[in-house]
Amino acid sequence: MTRPRVLAGVVFCALLANALLGCANTLDSLGQDPDSNGAADSGPAPPLGALTGPASYPNAFRTLLGKSDVEISAKVEAAFAQLFHGDPITQSIYFPVGTDRAYIQDVLHGDIRSEGIGIGMLVAVELDKREEFDRLWTYAKASLEQRTGPAQGYFNSFCDDTTPCLDPYGMQQFVTALLFANDRWTSSADAPYASDARALLDALKNKELENGGAALGLTSVFDATTQLVREQPTLDHAGYTRSSLEMPAAYELWAQASADPFWRGAAAAGRAHLLAAADATTGLWPMRSYFDGSAVKGSEVFSPQAYRTHLNLALDALWGTAGPNQTALADRVLGFFAAQGLDKYGATFTLAGVALDPNREQGLIAVNGALAVAASRANRAAFVNAVWTQAIPSGDIRYYDGVLYLMSLLILSGQFRVY
């Protein structure tokens, strides 16, 4: 059934997007970023450090469902094959362009989002699919990256159906995927994963320093005081965020790679926000919330935008970086859905748990399964089994369901690894 779906981000007017494209470059003549005092850096940035992950990764499909490694590998490969190389009309979300580029498309809305390309890159590097990874990143740099003006180094996307925006979610996925690619495949002149990652890291944190302030209302993605992610990097979105944008496990890796303590602070701030924004009874997160965790008026709904939050908690658990009370929060969320009926719960709820949309959503089923990695509930295997038994997403809403399904498969198979 076809129905509208609202995804990551909020309105960023096309007029502002066009204005940003046309503005003059605000970097200094040497292309160096200013430091906190406004002076140019004294030299090139040090090389990125290698990433270190946990000694082992939980494999929920094996430990909770008793599936063999052969069965698990076949499950993951089948999903990748269909969603990346299946029938372009009904199955694939990955579309090659020419000899060296490809994009992930939201086939329902007919647009290309940094969210999808970023997740596609993560899936590709985790499965050692370098051609697909390089094609996606080449496309992103050629077609989505802002090359001049105050937004230089940011990436265009679409949010709230077909509204142009600068979506922090996709850009954060780019950074993590590039760090993994640098460690797994090694950077080179033709594949400058490390320098690309460092440039984007710098933009996310220091855009206002580069521009000498909020030029044309544009800000850094990360708020310097709270170390939380703004919903969008504009003054209009300066005081609030979304739970799905707070990715503490990724920030731990950014801290390792860059040796910048800011990112470890961002990880701690993100974990605190995920706890503060969750409803005390259901554990559900609002569509958007202020930095103190309170819901923004009109956003007091758990909807598809928040589904990705489950993955943030799951990765923190999978990589052994979760903070106190995150297991209890995961148990609270799964407890709510268990009470609705594992084969009955719908797609959208008030924060108090009143169902607003009774339709089943494959994406929500997938991320609830992934969240079981962070939980301790006795019935968590049932959520994992629901992912194992569902079909690979297809049809006109396969984009969002598909990217969440792929991410969840990697988490539940222990294949979402630090490289």
Long-range contacts of 205-208 (CB under 8 A, 24+ apart): 205/260, 205/262, 206/33, 206/34, 207/150, 207/151, 207/153, 207/154, 207/233
Q: b/e map of 74-85 (b: 16 or more CB within 10 Å)? A: ebbeebbebbbe
- State the pLDDT at residue 159: 82
The answer to whether the beta carbons of residues 152 and 211 sit under 8 Å apart is no
Per-residue pLDDT of the chain (419 residues; tens, 9 = 90+): 333 343 333 333 333 344 343 333 322 222 334 444 444 444 566 789 999 999 999 999 999 999 999 999 999 999 999 999 999 999 999 999 999 999 999 999 999 999 999 999 999 999 999 999 999 999 999 999 999 999 999 999 998 766 889 999 999 999 999 999 999 999 999 999 999 999 999 999 999 999 999 999 999 999 999 999 999 999 999 999 999 999 999 999 999 999 999 999 999 999 999 999 999 999 999 999 999 999 999 999 999 999 999 999 999 999 999 999 999 999 999 999 999 999 999 999 999 999 999 999 999 999 999 999 999 999 999 999 999 999 999 999 999 999 999 999 999 999 999 99
Say whether pTM exceeds 0.75.
yes
| Inter-CA distances, 182 with 51, 123, 255, Å | 10, 15, 15
> Which run of H or of E encompasses 254?
helix 248-258
Which residues have CB under 8 Å from 221's CB, separation 6+? 168, 171, 172, 203, 204, 205, 207, 229, 230, 233
Boundaries of every domain in the chain: 59-90+279-419, 93-238
**Environment class of 240 (CB within 10 Å of its CB; exposed 0-12, middle 13-18, buried 19+):** buried
CATH number, domain 59-90+279-419: 1.50.10.10
Within this chain, domains 59-90+279-419 and 93-238 share the same CATH topology: yes
* 384 DSSP assignment: H
Look at the chain and count its residues. 419
> Which run of H or of E encompasses 131?
helix 130-139
Residue 19 CA to chain centroid, in angstroms?
27
d(CA 207, CA 151): 8
d(CA 405, CA 388): 10
CATH topology for 93-238? Glycosyltransferase (1.50.10)
